[in-house]
Structure 1
Amino acid sequence: MRTLVTVAETSCPVVREVTRRAGIRLGAPAVATAAADLPAVLERVPGSAVVVPLLLSDAAGLGPPLGPHPLLAAAQASRLIAAGVRPGRPVVMAAAGTDDPVVQERLVRAAALLADTWTGPVVLATTDGLGPRLEDVVGRGAVVSTYALGPGAEAEELRDRVAAAGASVLAEPIGPHRFVADLVGRRFRALQQSVAA
């Protein structure tokens, strides 16, 4: 079996945990790495590897990003429930902004998938770029879902700006949720099959 190699901007604990869980589910060796280290990691992997980007909206030439996907929306809904929010309540999905129309469309689709899963209205807000600004969308008492995989500079900026806008609830980032590991496993199998074909 090929080795699962996940790649993200950095190899943080969330990335390593998602990779570990996906590897266990697949019964495959698994390695997490930062994008800058990918070539060196691929040289050290015995046999062949399947690279799965652990990036939600823009995989910067590394392959298709994880999102948008219903499993990510389900993980977001789970984080909202864990934060004490009842399904159906209006939610703002906060994401890092982009100037790329393709990536912006992925964010819009991710918000629509969350609305379908959450069975309530979801509005997208971004830090910058093409989307509506957090400060224009998030108001006092708002409930916010963080569209970020894990902690880091991006998630911290979202947290700070959402708090400054007066939100009452900010759900945790998606994190190493089992649905993320399931999605990574699906991508691994699909990529493995496409290479074999």
Structure 2
Amino acid sequence: MAGLLRVTPAGDRLFVRARDGRIVGWYDPEDGVPGPGGAGEGGRIRIAHEPLRAEVLAALAPFVTGEVTVGPPPVPTSARLARLALHPDDDLAPNRPGEALHARLDHLPARGRAARALHDPHRADRTLLTAEQTVGAALDGWEGAGWRLLHSLPLPGDDRIPHLAVGPGGVFAVHTVPARRLPV
């Protein structure tokens, strides 16, 4: 299986990719074992696909120098968490997919099922909310592989970014468009 893995550089990291392009691990030379003064010495290897752990380590072996830690970063201390804490109004992490649409639709007056079936002026918003929830649920599955997801990020004006994925492969903004039974 080691011959099926490929090491590619990207920024400061080396990524190990499977033949199908999936990232199965990476080496970050700056995020390593704490040294004097809290600076990292060596690096950290993260395994995104545990069944390939030995193959990932073998593929990265020629590139690794010094002391290396294998695994996720340590759990932050309470002092570090306190420094990182945001006011709840400023924290975007709790936003659920379609948060702005939830807020808009929650302020609508209640209508009966028959009235909604005949004419629903907010049908497009409801369809978009369903699409954002579906895409958000699929993206949330990436969390275990080192990705962090933010949903419904407000921008100046009335604009927003539906989903932002930050992880080993980079930063991706995902725009959701409901296109059921339509060519895309």
Query: Does 1 or 2 have the higher relative contact order (CA < 8 Å, sep 6+)?
Result: 1
TM-score range, shorter chain: under 0.3
TM-score (norm 1): 0.27
TM-score (norm 2): 0.28
Which protein is richer in helix relative to its size? Answer: 1
Q: Which has the larger radius of gyration?
A: 2
